[in-house]
Amino acid sequence: MLLPLAAVVSKAFGGGADAFWHAVSDRQALAALRLTLILSLVVTAVNAVMGTLIAWVLVRDEFRGKSFVNSLIDLPFALPTIVAGLTLLALYGPRGPAPFNIAYTRIGVATALLFVTLPFVVRAVQPVLLTLDRESEEAAESLGASPWVTFRRVILPSLMPAILSGGALAFARALGEFGSIVLIAGNLPFRTELASVFIYGSIQSDDTQAAAAVSVVLLLLALVVRGLIAALDRWGRRHEG
Amino acid sequence: MTGIVVSDVSKSFGDFVAVDDISLTVPDGSLTALLGPSGSGKSTLLRMIAGLEEPGAGQIVIGGADVTRTPARKREIGFVFQHYAAFKHMTVRDNVAFGLEIRRADRAKIRSRVDELLRLVHLEAYAKRYPSQLSGGQRQRMALARALAVEPRVLLLDEPFGALDATVRRDLRAWLRRLHDEVSVTTILVTHDQEEAMEVAGQIVVMNGGRIEQVGSPRELYEAPANDFVAGFVGPVTELAGSKLRPHDVDIRIDPVDGAMEAQVRRVTHLGFEVRVELEAGDGRRLWAQLTREEAEQLELMDGQIVYVRASRRMPVALA
Ligand SMILES: Nc1ncnc2c1ncn2[C@@H]1O[C@H](COP(=O)(O)OP(=O)(O)O)[C@@H](O)[C@H]1O
Ligand SMILES: [Mg+2]
């Protein structure tokens, strides 16, 4: 595990800190990193809300085909990501049946990222929702709380650790996602190029220094997110027992 | 005036009738117990009064107003659950303050009211703790304070001591009785424990199979049960010469007396303050008697001994 990581790090700093710094502050590299970070944050935020909503409907509502919908949630995990990318391109691309074309746009890239990271929050929130103490919701109701106040003051605080840790996983996944976005992004530097695609492109053009440098930045971000998830986990359990 | 009047209320879950056409009056300021075996519909009835369950039929009136279609949050009730239903991520203080805070009461007022309640339930020292750091008894006292904070018109308790140890349960029972004398809010207590109902409540409603068997004071139920079920549920019953009586009303004599039946002592069991005597009567039927230690010492009963038994007091109603 550590060996290849060490190789990447040594490659990145092979030319000294200056070379690393130079590679990272390259305009195209910076743009890719910035876009990756922003899209990942946006996608995480959207999926935190959507995922919670979907988990809620799957746990609290009864409807026909519920177990089918439930099994559909894992599709992004089950599907090879390149297939997911191809599917999106076929659907929303220039020759697709959809009335709009989002191929080679940031919206398209975001859509792909939304799709592949959807299951994280849903699957994190669902089990917590299942074990929630329904009587504490009834207690809130009997004390005069409206459904919204009960959700915000009683339910949401219990779900928050799960939403955040599911969101952190989704964020980490979005940072490094390649397969599903490489086709729909269309590799337009400064417009739709994400860090992972940038790395791929640099390798293709033999600029290993740039590829390794950007990889190290992604690696650092991933490590920070890991730490965050661990902290969230401890925090979520602080009132257990 | 915050009495509760339940009229012809029914509730089914699918085909199963959990509450079957119940009518009931809970007097203003009373402490009424709903007593019955598990599954008899007590919680369902209580939850309908609270507005947490919608009746299939009938009407519920609280304090003169028809609340049948009023949501729980507008009924001004306090509800206490068997498993505390604490807000786990809030401190004891915040739990108790919840009802006042969502009403956007004045901050200073909330503070003083919560302090007052924490004193009332003896949790002043625990205000900053989380529910997970409290014992079961403390959690339930917190839940009671939380329910009382909003000055509910009625207090509804669903087996509030059911999850607690026997000793804690006994303490809290006595404490609830005193609390009710102090606060005197109309209270309904659901329990399957006849001793708890008898000790705490002024009025007991005995339920069975979704229906009411009898309503009365603890003494009325014990001394004049309406039927076999109530007789057996509120205390021990034995049978002598075809009639039912309480085991402590079996009069045992060494010498024959008028109206007494011959019987043989089968077994004598000493249970501290009471002594149980199992007997086989002349007609071959088994019965048992409950004696005080003094009575047992005077009689000096031995296994196999022939004695004479009669009823010193029968239950007034002829039981089926
Ligand atoms: N939500 C529900 N769905 C289906 N059956 C229920 C529900 N609530 C209660 N019951 C049934 O109704 C009956 C009465 O329940 P309950 O009122 O809880 O009884 P008690 O409190 O006296 O033990 C039980 O047989 C129980 O299984
Ligand atoms: Mg019950």
Parse chain A into domains and list their residue ranges: 2-240
Q: Average pLDDT in the A145-172 region?
A: 94
User: Which residues on chain B place their C-beta less than 8 Å from a C-beta of chain A?
Assistant: 50-52, 71-79, 81, 83, 85-89, 98-99, 102-103, 130-132, 143, 146-147, 150
Contact at 8 Å (CB) between B11 and B18?
yes
Chain-centroid distance, C-alpha B19: 18
Report how far ligand 1's centroid is from the alpha carbon of B189 (Å). 17
Q: Average pLDDT in the A107-122 region?
A: 92
CA-closest residue to ligand 1 atom 18: B43
pLDDT value, residue B319: 54
pLDDT value, residue B131: 96
Nearest by CB to residue B86, choosing from A136, A138, A142, is A136
Contact at 8 Å (CB) between B148 and B155?
yes
Q: What CATH code would you report for A2-240?
A: 1.10.3720.10
pLDDT band at A11; cut points 50, 70, 90: confident
Does B47 sit in the ligand 1 pocket, CB within 6 Å? no
Q: Picking from A40-49, A165-174, A183-192, A197-206, which range would have the lowest pLDDT averaged per residue? A: A183-192
Of A82, A162, A151, nearest in space to A121 by CA:
A162
Residue of B nearest to A135 (CA): B85
pLDDT value, residue A152: 95
Q: Tell me which residue has tokens 């409603």.
A: B205
Rg, chain B, Cα only: 24
Report how far ligand 2's centroid is from the alpha carbon of B147 (Å). 19
Q: Average pLDDT in the A72-97 region?
A: 85
pLDDT band at A103; cut points 50, 70, 90: confident
pLDDT band at A14; cut points 50, 70, 90: confident
pLDDT value, residue A232: 81
pTM of the model: 0.86
Residue B263 β-bridge partners: B281, B307
Mean pLDDT per 10-residue section of chain B, whose length is 320 residues = 92 97 96 97 98 97 96 96 95 97 94 95 95 94 95 96 89 90 93 94 97 96 92 92 89 90 93 92 91 89 92 70
Chain A residues whose beta carbon lies within 8 Å of the beta carbon of residue B143: 139
Q: CA torsion, points A193, A196, A199, A203, in degrees to nearest 10?
A: -110
B311 contact partners, CB below 8 Å, separation of at least 6 = B240, B241, B243, B245, B249, B250, B251
CA B247 to CA A186: how far, in whole Å?
91
In chain A, how many H helices and how many E strands?
13, 0
Nearest by CB to residue A141, choosing from B73, B88, B143, is B73
Q: Which of B13, B205, B211 to mutate to test the pocket of ligand 1 (most atoms within 8 A of CB)?
A: B13
The nearest CA of chain A is from the CA of B101 a distance in Å of 10
The nearest CA of chain B is from the CA of A234 a distance in Å of 14
What DSSP designation does A181 have?
T
Asked if the Cβ–Cβ distance from B132 to A240 is below 8 Å, we say yes
Q: Average pLDDT in the A218-230 region?
A: 87
The nearest CA of chain B is from the CA of A141 a distance in Å of 5
